[in-house]
């Protein structure tokens, strides 16, 4: 099993400790996501001077502000657009985009699918807690059908997006889903995504006890209870392939959905630049 760095060392090495604590509620899943990301960066030995974190609006977006990396905290939903611009200008940088489910799939859904289509080498991490936690627990595009929220007090009629299947269909070349419960698996997925030479998308099912759990207690209304729910309701993608669709209702399918080679945008664009320099056009 790969080595895990003690949390105290992660804290000292990567966090701006003078501005801690983070504003996250006790039991929030974003802490586990942040730990797994930093463990993966550490495992790969990435050059810290070459990493830029770009975060969107939402509770998880706070992560980047507390870390000792260059970061940009951008307009709601525009994370993939800013990340794309930066990668095109500086292909040598490792760009990590951190988004929530509302930021990535609602406000910024269009940007996300086009970044996947272009296969630009950005590692996108989406914290999916099934709700707009920061703004008061409204439903969003990944909220399960029937769930209760401040804007669906009698149960939600909408079906949700499956973000991983959406990303596979849009053209992302690495797609995986894990949970805040299974941090070891998450570190592996993040490490694979960070090493991947194209658009890598990792969805993390995280718990929001404050805005989602309280209204949907069957998933647990505290951080530990929600982690237990994640553990008991996760199914590997291999196992899911043998099950009928109805049996997967309400389950979290985890694993690597796709890992494929496709031409990467910034490298393809460099070829266009070279042709333009030579005047080799139509």
- Contact residues for ligand SF4, defined by CB under 6 A: 24-25, 28, 30, 59, 129, 133-134, 208-211
Q: What count of residues does the chain have?
A: 282
Q: Which is nearer to ligand SF4, 219 or 266 (CB)?
A: 219
Q: Which is nearer to ligand SF4, 78 or 134 (CB)?
A: 134
Could you tell me the smallest distance in angstroms from the CB atom of residue 221 to ligand SF4? Answer: 11
Picking from 140, 138, 129, the residue whose alpha carbon sits closest to that of residue 229 is 129
97: DSSP letter: E
Could you tell me the smallest distance in angstroms from the CB atom of residue 99 to ligand SF4? Answer: 13
Q: Which is nearer to ligand SF4, 24 or 181 (CB)?
A: 24
Could you tell me the smallest distance in angstroms from the CB atom of residue 263 to ligand SF4? Answer: 37
Q: Which is nearer to ligand SF4, 124 or 129 (CB)?
A: 129
Q: Which is nearer to ligand SF4, 67 or 208 (CB)?
A: 208
Show the tokens assigned to 208: 């929001």
Could you tell me the smallest distance in angstroms from the CB atom of residue 170 to ligand SF4? Answer: 26
Q: Which is nearer to ligand SF4, 29 or 198 (CB)?
A: 29
Could you tell me the smallest distance in angstroms from the CB atom of residue 224 to ligand SF4? Answer: 13
User: Can you tell me which residue has the tokens 């974190």?
Assistant: 53
Sign of the four-CA dihedral 33, 46, 66, 87: negative
Q: Which is nearer to ligand SF4, 24 or 148 (CB)?
A: 24
The enclosing H or E element of 234 equals: strand 234-236
3-state helix, strand, coil in the chain (%, to 5): 45, 20, 35
Could you tell me the smallest distance in angstroms from the CB atom of residue 136 to ligand SF4? Answer: 9
Please state whether 58 falls in left (phi above 0), alpha (psi between -120 and 50) or beta. left
Please work out, in degrees rounded to the nearest 5, the angle formed at the alpha carbon of residue 128 by the alpha carbons of 239 and 13: 105
Could you tell me the smallest distance in angstroms from the CB atom of residue 187 to ligand SF4? Answer: 20
Count of CA atoms in the C-beta half-sphere (13 A) of 46: 25
> What is the layout of strands, in order, in the sheet containing 70-73?
70-73, 51-55, 94-100, 122-128, 200-205, 174-179, 252-259, 234-236
């Amino acid at each position: 099993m790969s080595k895990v760095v003690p949390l105290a060392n992660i804290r000292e090495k990567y966090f701006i400790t003078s501005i801690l604590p983070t504003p996250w509620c006790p039991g929030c899943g974003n802490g586990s996501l942040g730990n797994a990301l930093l463990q993966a960066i550490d495992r790969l030995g990435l050059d810290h001077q070459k990493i830029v974190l770009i975060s969107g609006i939402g509770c998880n977006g706070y992560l980047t502000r507390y870390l000792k990396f260059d970061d940009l905290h951008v307009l709601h939903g525009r994370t993939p657009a800013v990340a794309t611009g930066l990668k095109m200008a500086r292909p040598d940088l490792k760009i990590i985009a951190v988004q929530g489910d509302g930021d990535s799939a609602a406000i910024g859904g269009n940007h996300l699918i086009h970044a996947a289509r272009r296969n630009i080498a950005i590692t996108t991490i989406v914290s999916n807690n099934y709700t707009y936690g920061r703004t008061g627990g409204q439903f969003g595009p990944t909220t399960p059908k029937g769930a209760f929220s401040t804007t669906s007090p009698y149960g939600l009629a909408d079906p949700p997006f499956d973000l991983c299947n959406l990303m596979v269909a849009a053209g992302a070349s690495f797609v995986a889903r894990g949970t805040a419960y299974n941090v070891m698996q998450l570190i592996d997925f993040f490490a694979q995504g960070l090493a991947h030479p194209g658009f890598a998308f990792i969805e993390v099912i995280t718990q929001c006890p404050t805005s989602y759990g309280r209204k949907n207690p069957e998933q647990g209304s505290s951080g530990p209870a929600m982690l237990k729910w994640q553990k008991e309701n996760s199914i590997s993608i291999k196992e899911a392939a043998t099950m009928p669709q109805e049996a997967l209702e309400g389950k979290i399918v985890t694993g690597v959905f796709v890992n494929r080679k496709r031409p990467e945008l910034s490298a393809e664009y460099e070829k266009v630049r070279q042709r333009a320099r030579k005047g080799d056009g139509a």
